[in-house]
């Protein structure tokens, strides 16, 4: 099965859980015989040490667009010269253009559909990327097209138009998850168009499937649920950090935005610290709510026990998990929540919101309503104070991960491919 896959991030070029998921999905598919060309929009690709080798390949000449990235015979990656990045908004894109962070002049292209400049706004850039995607699709034979989230839907649709192959769209998050009721109508329309055009839809949870049927009017029969997972090496913690018994660390790791519920984490921290002075809270991540969260911690006078690390990546993330005594994911609307699985790999007890897709999968996690700050604080205190509970949750979580594997997810996706092909 030859797959043309469109995403917007892939390790080491990533800023969230989508990159981790795409890496796991491609590995799972490769185990079942899939050959994947993965296209990502990036301005520049740098060599880095990872399981992905960055190479200039001669099989497909696309130097005008970017560099090809190869990972064994099963996965080849291409980059398109584009500044698109996860969670970017039109205002941010325009500001980056004005400040020169995005340079408007790029290499001249032999492809007439490109102007040689980045688009004047985020949405024109999305469609410019789609035009390049159509050209890539014509370069080789593919059996199926697979597009991840809204930024790549126009690319998937254009590739489908070019080569007349089935289109699978994969929903990791909806605009309703990212923005609540204050959605960007343009993004919503792109999502709707992609969902309508798809031959089949994959969602990361039943939670997300239900939201698609409710908010987009899509028939449930067109949607399959494939939960995210962890790889075998990810489920074996690499960092063994000796913990200080005088300090107990509670970790929040994710974008500091409305969707992730950082404000509930801070309010719960305040309640916990009123009863447990050994507790220390870490908020790891960046986002539009970060300045307000720093101000709130100062207002509550909990700054001496509260740490803001900013955005973490790679080894920094793994070390944060390794040093933590409990991981908290109080998301307001979480299609899945792959970080909960990553925490469990480090024997860290996990407390997650009931409004998360991963709650469908996990039995070993404690589940609370994101808005119930008192209950969240009580659960954190319980895990910190009672070592027996802590150890039982850590053991059960590790045991549960044994059956949550990317190769299982890959098999389900391959079955979907065969059904549409």
CATH number for the domain spanning 388: value is 3.40.50.2000
53 in any annotated domain = yes
Contact predicate 369/330, CB 8 Å: no
Residue 69 sits in the same domain as residue 13 = yes
Beta-sheet pairing, 75-81 with 200-203: unpaired
238 in any annotated domain = no
Q: What is the mean pLDDT of residues 38-59?
A: 45
Residue 7 sits in the same domain as residue 155 = yes
242 in any annotated domain = no
Residue 252 sits in the same domain as residue 352 = yes
Cα–Cα distances (Å) from 12 to 53, 206, 314, in that order, read 11, 29, 8
Q: Is the pLDDT of residue 59 over 80?
A: no
The number of distinct structural domains making up the chain is 2
Question: What range defines the domain where residue 272 resides?
Answer: 248-401
DSSP 370: T
pLDDT, residue 74, reads: 53
| Rg of the chain, C-alpha, whole Å | 22
SS3 335: coil
Lowest pLDDT segment from 182-191, 302-311, 409-418:
182-191
pLDDT, residue 98, reads: 57
Q: What is the pTM of this model?
A: 0.80
Residue 210 banded pLDDT, cuts 50, 70, 90: very high
Residue 252 sits in the same domain as residue 376 = yes
DSSP 99: H
Nearest to 132 by CA among 151, 149, 113, 152: 113
Contact predicate 318/209, CB 8 Å: no
50 in any annotated domain = yes
Residue 235 banded pLDDT, cuts 50, 70, 90: low
Q: How many CB atoms lie within 10 A of CB 290?
A: 18
Q: What is the mean pLDDT of residues 121-132?
A: 72
71 in any annotated domain = yes
Residue 6 sits in the same domain as residue 129 = yes
User: Using CA atoms in the order 308, 183, 371, 251, what is the torsion angle rounded to 10 degrees?
Assistant: -20
Residue 166 sits in the same domain as residue 264 = no
- Mean pLDDT in the chain? 82
Nearest to 88 by CA among 118, 45, 46: 118
152 in any annotated domain = yes
Q: What is the mean pLDDT of residues 209-223?
A: 96
Residue 261 sits in the same domain as residue 343 = yes
Residue 40 sits in the same domain as residue 58 = yes
pLDDT, residue 89, reads: 56
Residue 262 sits in the same domain as residue 351 = yes
239 in any annotated domain = no
276 in any annotated domain = yes
Residue 338 sits in the same domain as residue 217 = no
> What's the CA gap between 89 and 129, in Å, rounded?
16
Residue 289 sits in the same domain as residue 144 = no
How far the first Cα of the chain sits from its last, in Å, is 10
Beta-sheet pairing, 326-329 with 306-310: unpaired
The DSSP bridge partners found for residue 315 are none
Residue partners of 100: CB distance under 8 A and separation at least 6:
none
pLDDT, residue 66, reads: 43
Residue 129 sits in the same domain as residue 200 = yes
């Amino acid at each position: 099965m030859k797959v043309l896959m469109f995403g917007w991030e892939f390790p080491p070029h990533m800023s969230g859980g989508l990159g981790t998921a795409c890496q796991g999905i491609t590995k799972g598919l490769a185990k079942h015989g899939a050959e994947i060309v993965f296209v990502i929009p990036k301005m520049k690709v740098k060599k880095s040490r990872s399981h992905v080798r960055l190479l200039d390949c001669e099989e497909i000449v696309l130097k005008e667009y970017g560099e090809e990235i190869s990972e064994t015979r099963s996965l080849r990656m291409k980059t398109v010269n584009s500044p698109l990045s996860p969670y970017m908004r039109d205002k941010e894109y325009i500001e980056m253009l004005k400040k020169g962070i995005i340079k408007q002049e790029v290499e001249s292209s032999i492809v007439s559909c490109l102007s040689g400049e980045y688009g004047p706004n985020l949405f024109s850039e999305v469609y410019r990327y789609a035009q390049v995607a159509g050209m890539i699709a014509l370069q080789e034979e593919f059996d199926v097209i697979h597009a991840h989230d809204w930024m790549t839907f126009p690319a998937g649709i254009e590739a489908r138009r070019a080569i007349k192959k089935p289109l699978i769209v994969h929903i990791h998050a909806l605009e309703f998850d990212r923005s609540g009721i204050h959605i960007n109508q343009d993004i919503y329309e792109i999502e709707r168009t992609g969902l309508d055009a798809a031959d089949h839809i994959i969602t990361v949870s039943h939670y997300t499937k239900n939201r698609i049927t409710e908010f987009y009017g899509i028939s449930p029969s067109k949607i399959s649920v494939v939960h995210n997972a962890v790889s075998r090496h990810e489920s074996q913690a690499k960092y063994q950090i000796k913990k200080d018994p005088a300090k107990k660390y509670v970790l929040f790791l994710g974008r500091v935005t409305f969707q992730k519920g950082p404000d509930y984490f801070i309010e719960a921290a305040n309640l916990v610290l009123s009863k447990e002075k050994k507790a220390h809270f870490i908020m790891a991540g960046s986002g539009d709510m970060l300045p307000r969260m720093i101000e709130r911690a100062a207002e509550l006078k909990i700054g001496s026990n509260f740490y803001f690390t900013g955005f973490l990546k790679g080894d920094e993330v793994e070390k944060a998990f390794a040093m933590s005594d409990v991981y908290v994911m109080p998301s307001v609307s979480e299609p899945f929540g792959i970080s909960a699985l990553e925490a469990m790999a480090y024997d860290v007890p996990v407390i997650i919101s009931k409004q998360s897709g991963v709650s469908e999968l996990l039995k070993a996690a404690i589940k609370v309503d994101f808005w119930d700050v008192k209950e969240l604080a009580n659960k954190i205190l319980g895990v910190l104070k009672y070592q027996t509970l802590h150890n039982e949750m850590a053991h059960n979580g590790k045991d549960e991960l044994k059956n949550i594997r990317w190769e299982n997810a890959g098999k389900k996706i391959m079955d979907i491919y065969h059904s549409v092909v």
